[in-house]
Amino acid sequence: MSDTPRAPGRTTHLHELLDRLSLEEKVHLLTGETAFTLPGNEAIGLAPLAFSDGPTGVRGPRFIGGDVVALFPSATLIAGSWDDEVAEEVGRMLAEEAQRQHIHVVLGPTVNLHRTPLGGRLFEAYSEDPYLTGRTAAAYVRGMQERGTAACLKHLVANESETLRNFMDSRLSEPALRELYLLPFEIAVQDAHAWSMMAAYNDVNGVPATEQDHVQNQIVKGEWGWDGLIMSDWYATKRTAASANGGLDLVMPGPDGPWGDRLVAAVRAGEVTEETVDGHVLRLLRLADRVGGLTPEGQEPRGWAQDLPAVDSPVRQEQLRRIAARGMAVVTNNGALPLTPGAASDDGTVALIGRHAIDTVDMGGGSAVVNPPYRSTVAEELTALLGERVRVTDGPAVRDRPVPADPAFLTDPATGTPGMEVVLLAADGTELARTHEDSAEFSIGWDDDLDRIPATAVLTTTLANEAGSVLLGAVGAGRWTLAAAGQELSAELGLAGRDPGEAVLRPPAFAEVIELPAGAAVTATVALDPVDPREVLLADASLGLAEESHLLGMSALGRTALVAAPAPRPDDDLLAGAEAAAAAAGTAVVVVGVTEEQETEAADKTTLALPGRQDELVARVAAAARRTVVVVNAATPVLMPWLEAVDAVLVAELPGQEGGHAVAAALTGALEPAGRLVTSWPAADGAAPAWDVVPDEDLVLSYDDGTFVGHRGYHAGHAPAPLFWFGHGLGYGRWEYGAVQVREGPGGPAVTVEVTNTSARDSRETVQVYLQPAEEDQPIRLVGYRGADVPAGATSVVTVACDARLLRHWDEAAGGWAPLAGGELVVARGLGDVRARAPLA
């Protein structure tokens, strides 16, 4: 399929521009110019478009040390509000962030599903449910594109885990593909007309996502009649002609890649028609036109909005704090929340405990990382709110891997300012660059001219250490030697067996504790080995990388950092201190969670257990304290072996730059944590309808759960009941439901129900409607939801429309959609708390 037929107006104009380009010029436009920009063409008025990740902030073109930009709450928190208005507001704010940086396309939202809770990248995606995902995505896209910034739905498709993502093959049935994994894309296309999509790294049923004629050409561009552009994920394109013919429109990044001269040759050889190339170019020109990147002759290019809120302005702070708190979920509460220090029942003191209280994790790892203007911790903000009543106590370690040094711990001897000096040398010793970095990190390849591959980097800095034990080490592939005060540490950090993306997204690291004099000078030298994925990747010929595979281009990339910090205190001491603090206070608030080691692109989890000795921490605190509140600082499920011993749990997720503020406001009730869970939380490792993320020896990962994903599978008994259901969340209100009425409308049934807020405070309820189909082989599913703000003691009448796209199933034999008839509508606050049922005719 080349493109939609010629139509009058803009399309004719785009065809005219196309007709002015030679084959070579056209093909040139179809690969990035750099990591995040496209080539322009002055003769036809095409500006060089700029892209940026997405989805929890607009990072800008640099991976490391980029511009200071606003850090948003994780996608799971945005979806957790179950509110289109919130997602739309996020879209609008992201468009403003993009405009400030002159970015045309934001690489988000991520609309892959939470299929198994082990997926490392779930924090970037919305939910286990395709309807909640699709609706949230549509609202986000609407908000963003209204302001002239393109959204990019990613990753098309069946990209629910990270392990071997460049090589694995997601095997799934056509009903699962259509009803689950494509549905969010379909909803965001139909309801918000997203202007671009990104093809995933993985294969789908044996065919690379970038070559998916079935998905890209037949379904997305064909059946849905979608006229947007499909770009590849970065380095995902595996073969030249197959991808061009399979519906991929644009290869990213550039300037090198599997298209270029190879695609020109393929056209000349008759493997790809010029009409196909034209179709891709038309889609590119259309995208440019939509984002103001195509300027008719004689006209001024698009302007960029000025007067945008600064990243740390009061307006942004209010928005980011409110949105974060709104999505947080109270999952259990015997009255300990909201905190009311000073109430008759306690002495008013709060022991705030845990590493995550002091070092609150505000984002996940990988390409979604941004450089925020500030970070706000729970310790700072709860103390700011409650004053001296709060005593803060550190908890046990939460990370296994060393992290880059705090820049404030380093001084560049050349400038005298925080950071380090970096000298890059060629193999013959020629100095290629000498720079000051104001952080402990720098990247090689990705952010600069991709051709420049230094052989050695030398990092120099002076530590702000006191005399004594210091943790010293490095992050990044290569052969390291660290010299400090006459001592030498060395390590060889390889990438063997790793995904090529890990060199950038999750590089190897080492660190050791050594004794140093105060203010020690450190020189770290790293011999960099360009990485050839064919050699390091599992050393396995079965990966069968084609000569033209774009992945080979990743060989030049890497991320490097210096590790330096005061030596950590032993966990035993920290646990004993926490116990003592808990015993002395009226209420203990323990903040636990995961870190970017678990919630990251490029790697999956192996367990849902909290890392380190955090379970022991909660158990010991709960045994010692009069009252224990747990805050979970994780976007995705964790195990809670201590649940019965605590009084309340707030799931705060990854709350962004206003994180500490939002948690403090949610704990005290200044803002209601009105979120509902976006994913079912399993009771134990493995106790979920889908679990494994490791493909078999043929690199196949079977989506054996079919259409019984998440709550659909739990409800059908495919796994033991979850600890907390999808849709669960108590907020601070209490709710009574009246009788339901079902009325048939043109688009499907609508459910009306009275909800009464029987609590003493204004609150927000989210009415959820599920369909249990009459057909026995069809899973229960969410078909509609609607939020209502209800004053204390008041009753609201809420009408929820059931979405017709959930009232159908894919009939494999007939090769088409078939309606679901009859069955029962279930009104529930998560399927563990059903409030009403109504049969359907």
Q: Which parts of this chain interact with ligand BGC (CB under 6 A)? A: 53, 107, 154, 233-234, 367, 501
**φ, ψ dihedrals at 169, nearest 5°:** -120, 110
Nearer CB in complex with ligand BGC: 154/238: 154
Give dist(CA 777, CA 818) in Å, integer: 14
Least distance CB 159 / ligand BGC (angstroms): 8
Q: What residues form DSSP beta bridges with 294?
A: 46
Burial class (CB in 10 A: 0-12, 13-18, 19+), 270: exposed
Q: Do the beta carbons of residue 708 and residue 814 sit within 8 Å?
A: no
Element (H, E) at 480: strand 478-484
Quote the crossing angle between the two packed helices 130-145 and 84-100, to the nearest 10°: 40
CA separation, residue 482 to residues 314, 472, 581 (Å): 43, 8, 39
Contact by Cβ (8 Å): 287, 250:
no
Name the residue whose CB lies closest to ligand BGC: 367
**Cβ-based nearer residue to ligand BGC, 37 or 772:** 37
- Annotation says 233 is catalytic: yes
DSSP state of 785: E
Nearest CA to 120 out of 77, 163, 58, 154 is that of 163
Collapsed DSSP state (helix, strand, coil) of residue 593: strand
CA distance linking residue 759 with residue 736, whole number of Å: 10
Residue 291 Cβ, how far from ligand BGC at the closest point, in Å? Answer: 17
Q: How far is the C-alpha of 203 from the C-alpha of 185, rounded, in Å?
A: 18
H/E stretch holding 153 reads strand 150-156
Strand 509-516's sheet: what is its strand order? Answer: 441-444, 558-566, 468-475, 509-516
* Closer to ligand BGC by Cβ: residue 83 or 502: 502
CA 149 to chain CA centroid, Å, is: 19
Q: Which two tokens stand for residue 266?
A: 């393929």
> What is the closest distance, in whole angstroms, from the C-beta atom of residue 368 to ligand BGC in the complex?
8
Q: Among residues 233, 346, 529, 705, which one is catalytic? A: 233
**Measured between alpha carbons, how far is 413 from 472 in angstroms, rounded to an integer?**
18
Coil, helix or strand for 787?
A: strand
For the chain, the helix, strand and coil percentages under 3-state DSSP, each to the nearest 5: 25, 25, 50
Distance CA 116, CA 128 (A): 8
- Nearest distance from C-beta of residue 107 to ligand BGC, angstroms: 4
C-beta of 133 vs 772, nearer to ligand BGC: 133
Residues 6 or more apart whose Cβ sits within 8 Å of residue 824 = 771, 772, 837, 838, 839, 840
**Residue corresponding to tokens 């608030």:** 589
Terminal-residue alpha carbon distance, the chain: 42
d(CA 765, CA 833): 14
Phi, psi of 757 (to 5 degrees): -85, 100
Q: What would you report as the CA-atom Rg of the chain, rounded to the nearest whole angstrom?
A: 27
Residues 6 or more apart whose Cβ sits within 8 Å of residue 169? 202, 203, 204, 205, 206, 695, 698, 699, 700, 701
b/e string for 712-748 if b means 16 or more Cβ within 10 A?
A: bbbbbebbeebbbbbbbbbbbbebebeebebeeeeeb
- CA distances 705 to 116, 201, 214, 622, 739, Å, are 10, 22, 22, 38, 35
Which residue lies nearer to ligand BGC by CB, 397 or 450? Answer: 450
The dihedral sign for the CA sequence 806, 807, 809, 815? negative
From residue 439, alpha-carbon distances to 44, 387, 399, 405, 406 in Å are 42, 32, 20, 8, 7
Q: Closest distance between ligand BGC and the C-beta of residue 127, in Å?
A: 18
Which residues are part of the catalytic machinery? 233
